[in-house]
Structure 1
Amino acid sequence: MNERDKEMARAVEGAAATALRVVFERIEQAAQQAGRCSSQVRLVAVSKTKPVSVIKEVYEAGHRYFGENYVQELIDKAPQLPGDIKWHYIGHLQSNKAKNLVANVPNLYMVEGVDSTKVANYLDRAVAGLERKPLKVLVQVNTSGEESKSGVEPSECVELARHVNTQCPNLEFSGLMTIGMPDYTSTPENFKALANCREEICKALDISEEGCELSMGMSSDFELAVQMGSTNIRVGSTIFGVREYPAKQQ
């Protein structure tokens, strides 16, 4: 890397730390408008396609929650970064990759995207073979009704949540997540649909709503999500900049 490239890299890394602070400020403002405390909202910095050096810079700014969407990318990055990072795997997880993910990322904090009993069962067995506490999981709900989106239909959310809660002792059912519309923005209807699912699940399973998270909101709509009760937002490009995708990732 020549000096010009190094200077450009430092500029990008500095921008990421600045962007992180701005996002926290926006969360604070959105929470205040909704009469909430910003501490009720977890920010997951989604670092997919971004180099370890930039993730380290955000880490050094004090952040600990990071997310990835590709199993192999997370497996590659995790050993190069501090062990106190709380990694989130976000989105659809192929059942045959569950064991590899859990075995190779010991500080995997949460899987946001359990969308079938099959995936739940594979994850449960994978965790059972390790000496670690139960893995937190969120059930993914397709609130937009798009065939291209993973997630159970809202009418099926109670059944899957019950399966995780009662049949997967090595998993901890922690709530629900949704991905927005085709352009990755959501409407109040998407967020309301997820909140309705939480209400149904909490009644059916006799659990408190405080113990059932809502992961909703990304770069383009996280303020609306915070105002509508999100406890976990997933922000990538607003912190790290536009992503550059390789030809193919698995």
Structure 2
Amino acid sequence: MAAPLVEGAAVAALRSVMFRARQAAERSGRNFDQVRVVAVSKTKPVSLIRQVYDAGHRCFGENYVQELIDKAPQLPQDIEWHFIGHLQSNKVKSLLAGVPNLAMVQGVDNEKLANHLDRAVSNLGRDPLKVLVQVNTSGEISKSGVEPSGCVELAKHMKLRCSHLQFSGLMTIGMPDYTSTPENFKTLLKCRAEVCKALEMEEEQCELSMGMSNDFELAIEMGSTNVRIGSTIFGPREYAKKLAD
């Protein structure tokens, strides 16, 4: 009898998040349809994801390749899956082949990975795959992401040399304690301005993926178009076993 209570809590939490995100969008002077809420279901069972899906949500994210490959076939094909975070080049083929409804990779942090994705998309005959450049805005050595000074060149490489990828914007993963949140967001905004100038893009065409459970409202107020919400919707993550990347 415990499972339905948990699932009901997730649906209620989703509604709360969507309401708060809508309010933040209004404070930023934008329409809510300009903001995408990605429900990050890492370590959560398919049954719980299905409850959130049945409540009307369609955009979900995962951080582990094998977990996403396992879950995607068990869920409806109209889900818009986002792969979030570091992706190893040797996992690209299996990810794309195993998840035909993969909508976006957040994010790509080097040209080698971009090239692998480009070739894999081409070989599978898929429509161009949306990708975001991951930027290490907090300067942490242990964190993936291109340095802010390198985001223009990587974006340019994908835009001009990877015809099977659709460069769609930038993403960042802030520090775990959220202490650097405003600075991280300001850095990504600066990166977007530089990238759009170099590629002659309108800033509205360049998405920003920033903001998670504890700072998504501020992120939206500062211009984020993607917020990635995990524990606030699904509850604490469950690491009962090591998940393979």
TM-score range, shorter chain: over 0.9
Query: Which 5+ residue runs of structure 2 have no aligned equivalent?
Result: none
Matched, 1:245 2:239: yes
Aligned partner (choices 107, 131, 142) of residue 101 of structure 2: 107
Deviations 1:56-106 (A, max 9, x none): 000000000000000000000000000000000000000000111001100
Equivalent pairs counted in the alignment come to 244
AA paired with 1:74?
Answer: L
* Contact in 2 for aligned 1:185/1:221 (Cα 8 Å): no
Whole-angstrom distance in 2 between the partners of 1:143 and 1:77: 31
Selected match of 1:47 from 41, 46, 60: 41
User: Offset of 1:34 from its aligned partner?
Assistant: 2.1
Judging changes above 3 Å, is the alpha-carbon distance between structure 1 residues 68 and 160 closer, same or farther for their aligned structure 2 residues? same
Q: Is the 8 A contact 1:139 1:176 kept in 2?
A: yes
1:55 CA displacement: 0.3
Cα offsets for 1:33-74 (capped at 9, x unmatched)? 222222111000000000000000000000000000000000
Q: Which residue of 1 aligns with 2:188?
A: 194
- In the alignment, what sits opposite 1:27? 21
Q: What residue number does 2:113 align with? A: 119
CA distance in 2, matches of 1:213, 1:176: 6
Corresponding residue for 1:131?
Answer: 125
C-alpha change, 1:196 and 1:99, in structure 2 (3 Å) is same
| TM-score under structure 2 length normalisation | 0.97
Q: Which position in structure 2 is the counterpart of 1:72?
A: 66
Q: TM (normalized to structure 1)?
A: 0.96
C-alpha distance in 2, partners of 1:155/1:60?
A: 43
Equivalent residue, structure 2, for 1:3: none
User: CA–CA distance in 2 between the matches of 1:35 and 1:186?
Assistant: 24
| 4+ runs deviating over 4 angstroms | none
Question: Which moves more between the two structures, 161-170 or 29-38?
Answer: 29-38
C-alpha distance in 2 between matches for 1:124 and 1:82:
26
2: CA distance, partners of 1:184 / 1:191:
11
1:101-250 equivalence runs, <5 A: 101-184=95-178, 186-250=180-244
Residues 75 and 39 of structure 1: CA distance in aligned 2, closer, same or farther (over 3 Å):
same
Identify the match of residue 59 of structure 1 among 53, 58, 78: 53
Please tell me the root mean square deviation across aligned C-alpha atoms, in Å: 1.0
- Deviation readout 1:117-166 (Å, 9 max, x if unpaired): 01101111111111221000000000000001100000000000001111
Identity of aligned residues (%): 72
Deviation at 1:216, TM superposition (A): 0.2
TM-superposed CA distance for 1:247, in Å, is 3.4
